[in-house]
Amino acid sequence: MADVEIEVTGNITSLEPVKTSKGMFQLPMHVSLSSPAAREWFGQRRENIRPWTVFVNTGNFRTPSSLPRLSKRIMKNVEYFQSNYFFVFLGLIAYCLITSPLLLIAVAASLGACYILSLKNAERKINILGHELTLAQQYGMVALCSLPLFYLAGAGSVIFWVLGASIFIITLHAAFYNIDSILNPDEERVELMMEQV
């Protein structure tokens, strides 16, 4: 057999940790809070928002005629008003922050510390005990140091209240809002005539 020489060259990026000159391991990934994907997702939510006059139109609230109809109605409403429900969730978060001054101060302090760290990182890297910390590690330390402050401010109960209130309000709206009067007005008219007979 003849010896065949194959040249293999190129740049290979690995997801395994890379050992730095100071003995620390660092993963080759970039964490960005203002990533284009997040901005695009939020932009899509804003574009797909339905008119609020349609969302709160009391003329479209009716009790469902049967249990299978209720489940279909909830699924259609969640799909159609998805962006509106997202902004209802954000509104409940804003309400909790406004009505809880200590929690608002805790969130502002944490975000302020992260902002100051990002400004300092733009100038020079921060070293602690001779080790250079990445921005993500610094954010993690701020989050860790903020946990006792969030605990004292009652952030745990606020999270559960926001989740519970959001699920309750969204389910209530989705169960009683008659989406068929918007999407299929002819089908709704036929169904009303059949119910009257």
Q: What is the mean pLDDT of each run of 10 residues along the chain (197 residues)?
A: 56 46 44 65 79 86 86 89 91 91 91 88 76 83 90 90 94 88 62 52
Report the candidate in 101, 90, 110 with the shortest Cα–Cα distance to residue 162.
90
> Residue 96 and residue 90: Cα distance in Å, rounded?
10
Q: Any residues with CB less than 8 A from the CB of 118 and at least 6 apart, and which?
A: 135
Per-residue pLDDT at 187: 57
pLDDT for 133 equals: 78
Tokens describing residue 142: 């701020």
Residue 27's Cβ-side half-sphere holds a number of Cα atoms within 13 Å equal to 7
Q: Which helix (H) or strand (E) holds 155?
A: helix 155-176
What is the value of pTM for the model shown? 0.65
Note the pLDDT of residue 88. Answer: 92
Structure tokens at 141: 């330390």
Q: What is the DSSP letter of 58?
A: G
Rounded to an integer, what distance in angstroms lies between the CA atom of residue 62 and that of residue 192?
12
Return the pLDDT at 163: 94
Given this model, what pLDDT does residue 189 score? 53
Q: What is the pLDDT of residue 38?
A: 75
